[in-house]
Amino acid sequence: ERKNNDDNNNDNNDDGEEEVMMITGGGGEVEEVTPGKKRLPAPGVLHDGQGLDAGAAGEFGGMRSVEVSSGEKGSDSHGNRVHNPSIRQVSAAALSNTMPHSNHLSGHHPHPHPHPLLLPPPPPLPTSTLSPPLPSLPPLHVPRPLAVDKVEALLHRAVDTWAFDAFELYDATGGHALSCLAFFLITRSPMISKFRLNLVALARCLRTIESGYRDNPYHSAIHAADVLQHLHMILTYGGLLPHYVDDLGLLAIYMSAILHDYGHLGRTNDFLIATSHPLALTYNDRSPLENHHLSAGLAIFRAPEFNFMEGSRLSKEQQKLLRKMVIDVVMATDMKGHFGLVGQFKAAHGISDQHLAQIQHEAGGGGGGGKGS
């Protein structure tokens, strides 16, 4: 009875005014709808006095708004007289997503400060009103991205050409020329099936070593990829495989090329020694850069998440031999020992300087000197 009396008092205080609902369209038109005529297209039940906090209002930005008002008369933006003591704008898009459908309006609320009220979800539609199920479609052939095809083409080309462009592979792989080329060369060789290397750890190891290269103008990860590819060509087309290098030696040479300039500072050994750089002091002025490459790079190999030899068929002795060969190869990249190694090679194989120059000319090398390791 008290509830009915409150409703009657509220009706008397309205002075016979009728609650009006305005629907504002995207073009600015305004339509007045009297509650109970079921003309409000937006779903849900809206009560006078309900409001949205600032965060919800910002989240519910949409294409169309619904204004609910009652009480004193006011004016809208077009000058139309409307009841306008409290107006709530709710995004129609938000209403359709968050409020259940309803065909009636509640003009008054008995509570002086009503809170938002949402109806429970409507019952599911009868099966007969639903659309028939779509027929099953044959599986679609999704073409692979062009970048993948380009990377594979560049990698396959790298195994049998001297005209390798490391910069092109760098661009195609998004800056990962070294890790992609190294993983490709290692996994296509017989050492994978022979040694049963951990491929997941190998991929992580290669990517970590690659990320340790500084963005130097020369001694960068792109340079390491270029060295790795040309070393592969020398081993393959120079007759060193399989007569001089076995599978373990091939893995050692690959890993040496991959990390041979790891963490290079972009300065020469002579500069580091002359400036008493910490690396020069640590390694007593003896090949400080090469020692640094090996010490930092081989530490990655031993990390559990990067140790691709863990659980493989490589014995402890083979792992020690692999480490020794990597150290020997990387230390030989110090140019101070380069000419001595070349002299030993020529003496062992009876190669004269004239013969070596002829070989370089036929191979297109021209006989010029390089820039170092």
Compute, in degrees rounded to 10, the torsion defined by CA atoms 263, 320, 332, 272.
Answer: 40
Distance CA 250, CA 240 (A): 10
Q: Would you say 261 is a known binding-site residue? A: yes
Q: What is the largest CA-CA distance in the chain?
A: 119
* Residue 219 falls in the annotated catalytic set: yes
Q: Are strands 73-75 and 30-33 parallel, antiparallel or unpaired?
A: unpaired
Contact 224, 176 (CB under 8 A): no
Residue 207, both tokens: 């990517």
CA-wise closest residue to 199 among 280, 191, 137: 191
- Residue 269 amino acid letter: N
The single residue of 219, 232, 292, 293 carrying the catalytic annotation is 219
Q: Are strands 81-83 and 73-75 parallel, antiparallel or unpaired?
A: antiparallel
The dihedral of CA 276, 278, 282, 286: what is its sign?
A: negative
Q: Would you say 260 is a known binding-site residue? A: yes
**Backbone dihedral angles phi then psi of residue 74, each to the nearest 5 degrees:** -145, -165
Contact 247, 197 (CB under 8 A): no
Residues at the binding site are 223, 260-261
Binding-site residue ranges for Zn(2+): 223, 260-261
Instruction: Write out the catalytic residue numbers.
Output: 219
